[in-house]
Amino acid sequence: MATTRVTSNVITIERHILHEQEAFPDASGTLTQVLYDIALAGKLIASRTTRAGLADILGAAGQENVQGEEVQKLDLYAQQTIFQLNDHTGRLAVMASEEEQDLIHIPEQYPTGKYVLLFDPLDGSSNIDFNVSVGTIFAIYRRVSASGPGTLEDVLQKGSEIVAGGYVVYGSSTMLVYTAGHGVYGFTLDPSIGEFLLSHENIRLPDPPMYYSVNQGYEKYWTEGIKRYTRWLQGEEGASRSLSLRYIGSMVSDIHRTLLAGGVFYYPADTRDPKKPHGKLRLLYEANPMAYVIEQAGGYASTGRGPLRDVEPLDLHQRTPLFLGNRDLVEKAEEFIAKHDG
Ligand code: AHM
Ligand code: MG
């Protein structure tokens, strides 16, 4: 009698994370659970972002949608979803987010745990009105304080201390990409079964790279080094090849493409606002987790003056110039900056 064969090459995110954990017999499984909660948050946020244009229509009368829920801005929804999935689990000491000015403490009635979660719940949310992809970025650290409520010291850790990091991109499909220090893995959400399935195994930045990615509209505010570096990417300044330009203006998508196609994404410091000489992107919950992903995929992340993940954070929301991508392209940026910007 014929037996039914069930295909074994479908790997859910849960199976994958558990498999990774097996390499560490002493692991308690806490990190696995934190990652799994982030994947769950990603699914919930994805189901809202795909309905983004409908929220206003359905909620227009009386500010309530068809389920009787209050219509919320998507970034607030994303913030609350991640917080509520993680506030009571006993796995986290403290959280911090782009959406909250101060540390996000675990409510007193719940226990604290050994990890710290930093996140940008919905990066690029200004793009939602134009149906452009947005994303969630996350970074996980071990707490450094001994016990009790987490502290600022737990959150202000260098990127080199990161334990796991990645992003969820809400694009033409929803993907979760993460690394826990053993390569970069990508999972695509199958909406028909509501599961993230392994679709991109051990991602490496391709070489030769295809694109450079920067907001060239700000060129007149750039330093001489950045201007010349960009011309080098375009095939001038003694370059032996030229790259094509892609810029979405949604960091998660721009990094995702850089990861899969090869190239460099940069958001340099500029002179638009003399009070903000450090670029736009935030060190703790935007730059560092993306830097970890890029480096785990064989690339390099720099401030333009040295390794990004060596920067000592001083402030929860501090900004940093950044260059992420294929190592030779990022090192070239450092060369141009050192030579022309002193
Ligand atoms: P946000 O955190 O307020 O959403 O801003 C971050 C976004 C990034 O996704 C993107 O890389 C950058 O802002 C684009 O900025 P610009 O419009 O200056 O090019
Ligand atoms: Mg952001």
Ligand 2: centre distance to CA 137 (Å): 8
Q: Where in the chain is the domain with CATH 3.30.540.10?
A: 13-200
Cα of 37 vs centre of ligand 2, distance in Å, is 20
Give the closest residue (by CA) to ligand 1 atom 2: 123
Q: Which ligand is nearest to the CA of 322?
A: 1
Expressed in angstroms and rounded, the spacing between residue 281 Cα and the centre of ligand 1 is 7
pLDDT of residue 55: 61
Cα 155 to Cα 1, 50, 70: the distances in Å are 60, 32, 32
Hey, what are 287's tokens? 């730059």
Ligand in nearest proximity to the CA of 273: 1
The CATH topology of domain 13-200 is: Fructose-1,6-Bisphosphatase; Chain A, domain 1 (3.30.540)
Cα(127) to centroid(ligand 1), Å: 9
pLDDT digits (tens, 9 = 90+) for 284-294: 999 999 999 99
> Side chain identity at 314, as an amino acid letter?
L
- Which atom of ligand 1 lies closest to the CA of 124? 4
Alpha-carbon distance of 48 to 74, in angstroms, equals: 7
DSSP assigned state of 24? -
Are 88 and 110 in contact by the 8 Å Cβ rule? The answer is yes
C-alpha pair distances (Å), 126 with each of 129, 156, 283, 288: 7, 27, 20, 22
Sheet holding 322-325, edge to edge: 244-245, 211-213, 263-267, 322-325, 300-302
> Can you give the pLDDT at residue 65?
43
Nearest ligand 1 atom, CA 265: 11
Dihedral angle of Cα 141, 318, 177, 22, to the nearest 10 degrees: -10
Residue ID of nearest Cα to ligand 1 atom 6? 124
**pTM for this entry:** 0.93
pLDDT of residue 273: 80
**Which class is 211-340 in CATH?**
alpha beta
Task: Give span(s): CATH 3.40.190.80, the chain.
Answer: 211-340
Q: Which atom of ligand 1 is nearest to the CA of 250?
A: 9
DSSP characters for 112-148? Answer: --SEEEEEEEEETGGGGGGT--EEEEEEEEE--S-SS
Residue 74 has what pLDDT?
86
Q: Is 58 helix (H, G, I), strand (E, B) or coil?
A: helix
Q: Is the CA virtual torsion 227, 300, 204, 131 positive or negative?
A: negative
Q: How far apart (Å, rounded) are the C-alpha atoms in residues 190 and 188?
A: 6
Q: What is the structure's pLDDT at 130?
A: 86
Give the model confidence (pLDDT) of 147-172 as tens digits.
Answer: 999 999 999 999 999 999 999 999 99
Calculate how far, in angstroms, residue 122's C-alpha sits from the geometric centre of ligand 2.
7
> What radius of gyration do the chain's Cα atoms show?
21
Residue 322, judged by CB atoms within 10 A of its CB (0-12, 13-18, 19+), counts as: buried
Site to probe by mutation for ligand 1, drawn from 122, 220, 248, 251 as the one with most ligand atoms within 8 Å of Cβ, is 251
**Ligand 1 site: residues with CB under 6 angstroms?**
98, 123-126, 215, 249-251, 254, 267, 280
252 Cα to the center of ligand 2, angstroms:
9
CA–CA distance, 250 with 227 (Å, rounded to integer): 22
**Residue 220: which residues within 8 A CB-CB, separation 6 or more?**
none
Q: Where are the beta strands (DSSP E) in the chain?
A: 92-97, 104-105, 115-123, 134-142, 164-170, 174-179, 184-190, 195-200, 211-213, 244-245, 263-267, 300-302, 322-325
What is the pLDDT tens value at each position of the chain, 342 positions in all?
A: 445 555 557 899 888 888 887 777 667 788 889 999 999 999 999 998 887 766 665 544 444 444 444 445 888 899 999 999 999 999 999 999 999 999 999 999 999 999 999 999 999 888 888 889 999 999 999 999 999 999 999 999 999 999 999 999 999 999 999 999 999 999 999 999 999 999 999 999 999 999 999 999 999 999 999 999 999 999 999 999 999 999 999 999 999 999 999 999 999 998 888 777 789 999 999 999 999 999 999 999 999 999 999 999 999 999 999 999 999 999 999 999 999 998
